[in-house]
Amino acid sequence: MESSNVIELKNIHYRYDRDLVLTNINLAVPRGAFLGIVGPNGSGKSTMLKIILGLQKPRKGSVLLFGQQQSKFRDWERIGYVSQKANAFNSGFPATVYEIVASGLTKKAGLFRMIGNKRRPQIEKAIRAVSMEDFQDRNIGELSGGQQQRVFIARAIVSEPDVLILDEPTVGVDSKNVQTFYDMLERLNKELSLTLMLVTHDIGTITNKVTHVACLNNTMHFHGSTEDFEQVKDSELSQFYGHDVQRLHHDHEHSHEAPTR
Amino acid sequence: MIQAIIDYQFLQNAFLTGLIIGVIAPLLGAFIVVRRLSLIADALSHVTLSGIAASLFLSKTFVVFNGLNPLWLGMGFSVMGSLFIERLRTVYKHYQELAIPIILSGGIGIGVIFISLADGFNTDLFSYLFGSVSAVSRSDLWLILAIAVTVISVVILLYKELFLLSFDEEFGKASGLSTRFLHLVFMIMVALVIAASMRIVGILLVSSLMTLPVAAAMRIARGFKQTIFFSIAFGEIAVISGLFSAFYLDLAPGGTIVLSSILLLLLAIAFKKTQTMRK
């Protein structure tokens, strides 16, 4: 039987050179959740994602993916990933939106197989899901940062994963389009019942979208539903960030600045 | 020249070899350029030089090696060099480009030692440095054909993996791709293509046939597959026109092929300019 948690971290420790980047991290991501992971820079957020994806090996602790030990896990196409670096990629790369989204099927198609026309409907569906169908045959370098990021999401969801992991996807997206971007994520979460895990250092903009919150600063400071997160005092949050911070309160008109770097 | 090709086997060899490398050099070149490895191709070609020089030295000094085709040792050295570059790139994680000058100078250094041991330059070596219309033998042609078949099959079979490796290595890793193995296969392919191409374009100019047609194609192509097709088309045009002019003007084909590639590149840049101006 498959576990109801798609991703589970148990007692993870990770060290980089001499510094303990992650200490005693426990995390459970239930199916269908939209989890926002927040924390200041250098808090180990990206490292945690890399551990989940098997790109970094933890010192201690275990990673369960769909209830299975990571070392035995083979269905990597069930986990989609949009990296932070996606917006620092070689923008002069001569590839079309279609080619890039198609490359998301590399693992699924299998070794020595081509991604042929049979898969075209699947690829075009993913492109439509992020509303990029008008740009299908454009080179990626001709697009804006926000459009490029949508292409990377399409590439991540084309293999129809159960979970999508995003590492600061709005870096390089202009503020006007950030909201539309989050709206799109919310839609993907609801319509495709895609479990989402989103890392951001911007605590304010996401609390009205996500269902669960995890606050990370080398250790896990809070992990639970968004409603419970609302109960956490601002003063405690400030302590966690090391400086003053206020959350966006949705009943208010004004918005607060996210903690600065 | 058409009549001459029919009449003389050496011209047939040169021409057919030219047509083959006109495909494989830009084909791999497209991946090399987008992965920003152009200089690595250059470094590897210099390692090939040391292999050629070693082979020429051996066949001059030891009777046993008399009939040895220098392509074999050249190929061997260049494959070894590609493995060595990978090793160096992991040793100097933060200065990966350091591998290039180390390998490049090492290649020339060893080459120069063998050249001096063999008592200096001879016409044979000259033809390896700058290419030749007359020096390609039948056995060279067969070896180069075998390399081409291998390289083209590998690229076709691993196209989507190589594309992913080039475009986004981290995403490739995250989706379970064995990027290290793939990269190794790729580097060996590069080493083979360099060994195959140097008979015609010469060691010093091999990398030009891998990069210049791609540079031209990137200006006008839409998408990666189109970039590859344009690169090969430009590569073929450069090789054919280069070989013809080398034959009639009695020049080393390396020079004429590079000049035709540069001409194509300038035309592609100019074409793109007029296109954007019209918009």
Q: Homologous superfamily of A5-241 in CATH?
A: P-loop containing nucleotide triphosphate hydrolases (3.40.50.300)
Q: Give residue-wise pLDDT tens across range A63-104.
A: 999 989 998 888 888 888 887 765 556 778 899 999 999 998
Residue A251: is its pLDDT beyond 60? no
Which is it for the CA torsion B106, B155, B167, A140, positive or negative? positive
- Report the C-alpha gap between B34 and B50 in whole angstroms: 28
Q: Among A106-115, B127-136, B233-242, whose mean pLDDT is lowest?
A: A106-115
Task: Report CB contact under 8 Å: B170, A55.
Answer: yes
> Domain ranges in chain A?
5-241
Structure tokens at B177: 């791709």
Q: Give residue-wise pLDDT tens across range A219-241.
A: 888 888 887 777 776 666 666 66
3-class secondary-structure state, position A246: coil
Q: Does B87 touch chain A (CB under 8 A)?
A: no
- Report the C-alpha gap between A207 and A194 in whole angstroms: 18
Min Cα separation B3/chain A (Å) = 41
Q: Give residue-wise pLDDT tens across range B241-259.
A: 999 999 899 888 989 999 9
Closest by CA to A41, choosing from A200, A224, A174, is A200
Query: What residues pair up with A214 in beta bridges, in sequence order?
Result: A37, A223
Chain A: residue nearest B163 by CA?
Answer: A103
Structure tokens at B79: 């494959």
Q: Does A139 touch chain B (CB under 8 A)?
A: yes
Cβ contacts of A135 within 8 Å, gap of 6 or more: A97, A143, A147, A151
User: Could you give all domains of chain B from N- to C-terminal order, each with its CATH number?
Assistant: 2-269 (1.10.3470.10)
Residue B86 exposure: Cα atoms within 13 Å on the Cβ side: 17
Strand order in the sheet with A68-69: A19-30, A5-16, A60-65, A68-69
Residue A56: is it exposed, middle or buried by C-beta count within 10 angstroms (0-12/13-18/19+)?
middle
Which is it for the CA torsion B19, B250, B4, B241, positive or negative? positive
Considering CB atoms only, which of B175, B218, B223 is closest to A107?
A: B175
Q: What is the ipTM of this complex?
A: 0.83
Structure tokens at A11: 């007692």
- Report the C-alpha gap between A152 and A146 in whole angstroms: 10
Q: What is the largest distance, in Å, between two alpha-carbon atoms of chain A?
A: 56
Q: Give residue-wise pLDDT tens across range B163-174.
A: 999 988 888 887
Q: Does B180 touch chain A (CB under 8 A)?
A: no
Percent of chain A with pLDDT over 90: 27
Whole-model pTM: value is 0.83
